[in-house]
Chain A
Amino acid sequence: MIVADKKPIEEIIEEVKNNEKILILGCNECVTVCEAGGKKEVGVLASALRMYFLNQSKEVKIDEITLERQCDHEYLEEIRDVMDQYDAVVSIACGVGVQFMAEKYHSTPIYPGVDTCFLGVTEERGLWTERCQACGHCILASTGGICPIARCAKRVLNGPCGGSAKGKCEIDKEIDCAWQLIIDRLEALDRLDEYEALCPLKDWSTDRAGGPRKVVREDVQQ
């Protein structure tokens, strides 16, 4: 899933302090799971903003809506009828949701309410960690199912870099060295011989090197 983290309330206040009719818009998917932008967080943010404006003796209307998703037309259409009631929206979906809202509702400012961080997993409640950088050409088949692009600080494809100590990454003793994980895993799979093979040069043109990306699937287009 896409992992996001709440923005500091001061930053959000700075974004919307001059507005009078604000919609806080949540999303029911990834950001709900990582407890940054779901219905519950919409409520918390709305209360915090109400409190702020009350202290400023300003009358500001703050409404709460949480959509199923903010990255599909059909869900964003659900609020078309009410959009003219607001002079600003704080979207606490990921950056994708914020942008799709902005594309759809061209004349309303849409502010981000979360910091979108990475593609990752819930290791335990309150701890999310990165797994994938969406490089556009997955090499997990040859690295024991552990991604050196997302999990090695240096994105070394023929690792380890030489800095790993006791299985930890040289940049942070709290972080596992991705290459130690890969070696351990290949060993468990009895495929350590694959570690000896040199990984071919990575073609980054499927990554950001090729500019903004798109996936076109004619077979499912209507």
Chain B
Amino acid sequence: MQLKRKFEKGEFAILAEIEPPKGVEISTMVSNATRVKGDVDAFVVPEMSNAVMRMSSLGGAMILQGKGMETVVQFNCRDRNRIALQADLLAAYACGITNVMAVKGEDPSFGDHHQARSVYDIDLVDLLQVVGGLQKGKDMAGIELSGSPEFLVGSTVDAGAMGKSPELVLEEMNKKMEAGTQFFITPPIFDLSAIEPFTKRVHLQQVNIIPTVLLLKSLGMARYMARNVDHIYIPDDLIRRIQKSPEKVRECVLIAAEMVNTLKAEGFSGVLLSTIGWEHKLPEILDKI
């Protein structure tokens, strides 16, 4: 509810990504989240990013939610058909999870179960509409529900992705908004110039855009991403800055915190901190915001 309230009041929201474990050992996930729960408005629990099998987003979110932390649960259309999606949406809400995100779900060839068969019974825009339908009290077959959910609904937008036409990105975002999306998370942003072609075309007061701030872990990671991840722009200056620093990890933490502050000043509705495996670094970043 906190997240919704922040959006409504136009206050800057801090989201943080917390990956569920690959296994049933949940203590690290829980302690990482607990450590920063006072500074984070909601934890985004990814649904098997990069198609790597691990505990589901729903499972992870239920655990954190049970410990009094607000979460955003993710759903994709890769692994469930329309029946399972609706069933788990109902389960999520009944377990106290009021924020949901529809995400695309990478192809299994990216992950660790290459031989899996994908479902794609419906697609992401359909899924967003399905959430809308459930909120109106009916399932996809038109049958009345006994008690309907009331979610804050999010999705992704490719704002700031290199090599994508901003018009097309806008078009995709409009489709998702029409389907009921209330907030959008972008790919990692390392420089405002990357997202400017997009922000020029939208009113940041009218749509909740949440850029992702990714914690670089090393010079190697920064260089690798700059060279090999097509859609992400990392300026050379930033790489030089890490290179020159005697304490590279600290510098990276500082860079992430500065990015958050820049985005806040720019008028975005919030940020999503992504530390991919380094969730223990969240307190350090949050300290500097």
Residues of A within 8 A of B (CB): 153-163, 165-166, 170-171, 183, 195-196, 198, 201-202, 204
Contacts and interface: CB of A to CB of B under 8 A. Distances in A.
B26 to A, nearest CB: 30
Contact of B124 (A156, A165, A166, A204): A156
Interface in B223-281: 230-231
19 contacts: A154-B78, A154-B105, A154-B118, A154-B123, A155-B120, A155-B123, A156-B124, A158-B124, A158-B175, A161-B123, A162-B172, A163-B104, A165-B230, A166-B163, A166-B230, A171-B109, A195-B171, A198-B125, A201-B126
A170 B124 contact: no
Contacts of A166: 163, 230
A201 B124 CA distance: 11
Interface residues of B, number: 31
A88 B129 CA distance: 55
A104 to B, nearest CB: 32
Interface string B163-205: 1100010011011001100000000000000000000000000
Contacts of B125: 158, 198
B70 interface: no
Contacts of B163: 165-166
Contacts of A196: 171, 174-175
Interface of B: 77-78, 104-107, 109-110, 118, 120-126, 129, 140, 156, 158, 163-164, 168, 171-172, 174-175, 178-179, 230-231
Given A154-B105, A157-B126, A161-B124, 12 more contacts: A154-B77, A154-B78, A154-B118, A157-B123, A158-B124, A158-B175, A196-B171, A196-B174, A196-B175, A201-B140, A202-B122, A204-B121
B231 A165 contact: yes
Nearest to A163: B104
B179 A162 contact: no
A204 B77 CA distance: 15
B122 A201 contact: yes
